């Protein structure tokens, strides 16, 4: 849910209980300026992370709702500040069609200059360890859902830098692809020279309330990495970047 929508609904709920309840009183209850709150509710202002946390704390929202709102705000900030292509939030329906490891690698590979031309699609199929027939079938499927556009002997990728963050639940497909990526990460430890990869683990004690802050930091890191990717129009390699936070002892 959008923070603006949630605030509108909460104000209406309070006004239904007390018709004399004002926007100013609502702003005071949230320790916010009334004018600023009005712009937020109208979608004219994107609040800072700390402000969002303060407002949500005052509204006593559950952690799942808070996480969803923070992720939505982070995506909006990305769209506002980046002059290049932002990470694209993938809806559930498109997610089910695209979110398969080979398709993800295919979409990224089609953005490399050497694979944009049809004459190199045989090499692309070989690089992805699939047949040319499978490659063409996948491309046809991706074109049908609007992820790519095949133009004669070349292809344009429409669905760039895909993010699944707005999907606040785990599907079987998401679980399976996450396991595949983890398997690849483990394999890279043995097979890829250290100078071509990075692996690190941080094990820390935290307060449960800080989990939202940590997830927001990871989201900012993803967005910054995405910006680095978009600063150049010519790419040479395809990399997976994996970040995870999970409990060890509850």
Burial of 98 (0-12, 13-18, 19+ CB in 10 A): buried
Q: In the prediction, which pLDDT does 83 show?
A: 44
Cα–Cα dist 15/134, whole Å = 58
Q: Quick: pLDDT tens for 56-82.
A: 989 988 888 888 888 788 777 666 654
Cα–Cα dist 47/27, whole Å = 14
Distance from the Cα of residue 218 to its chain's centroid: 10
**Which stretches of 6-63 are assigned E, i.e. beta strand?**
none
Give me 163's structure tokens: 């993010």
Q: In the prediction, which pLDDT does 136 show?
A: 93
Helix (H, G, I), strand (E, B) or coil at 57: helix
Q: In the prediction, which pLDDT does 109 show?
A: 92
Cα–Cα dist 241/224, whole Å = 12
Q: In the prediction, which pLDDT does 193 show?
A: 94
Q: What is the residue extent of each domain of the chain?
A: 3-61, 62-250
Q: Quick: pLDDT tens for 145-167.
A: 788 898 888 898 887 666 555 45
Give me 29's structure tokens: 């209850």
DSSP 200: -
Residue with tokens 């309330």: 209
Helix, strand, coil fractions of the chain, as percent rounded to 5:
60, 5, 35
Structure pTM? 0.58
pLDDT under 50: residue ranges of the chain: 82-85, 87, 166
């Amino acid at each position: 849910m959008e923070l603006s929508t949630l605030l509108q609904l909460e104000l209406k709920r309070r006004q239904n209980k007390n018709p004399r309840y004002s926007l100013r009183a609502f702003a005071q209850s949230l320790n916010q300026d009334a004018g600023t709150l009005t712009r937020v509710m109208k979608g004219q202002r994107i609040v800072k992370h700390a402000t969002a946390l303060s407002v949500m704390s005052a509204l006593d929202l559950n952690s799942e709702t808070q996480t969803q709102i923070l992720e939505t705000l982070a995506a909006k900030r990305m769209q506002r500040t980046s002059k290049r292509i932002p990470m694209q939030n993938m809806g559930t329906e498109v997610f089910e069609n695209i979110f398969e490891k080979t398709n993800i690698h295919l979409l990224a590979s089609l953005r490399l200059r050497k694979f944009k031309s049809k004459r190199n699609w045989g090499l692309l199929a070989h690089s992805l360890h699939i047949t040319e027939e499978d490659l063409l079938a996948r491309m046809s499927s991706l074109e049908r859902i609007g992820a790519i556009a095949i133009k004669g002997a070349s292809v344009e990728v429409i669905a760039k830098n895909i993010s699944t963050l707005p999907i606040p639940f785990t599907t079987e497909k998401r679980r399976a692809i996450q396991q595949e990526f983890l398997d690849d990460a483990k394999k890279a430890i043995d097979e890829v020279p250290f100078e071509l990869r990075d692996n690190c683990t941080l094990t820390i004690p935290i307060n449960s309330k800080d989990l939202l802050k940590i997830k927001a930091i990871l989201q900012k890191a993803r967005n910054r990495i995405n910006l680095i990717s978009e600063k150049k129009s010519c790419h040479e390699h395809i990399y997976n970047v994996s970040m995870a936070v999970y409990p060890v002892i509850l």
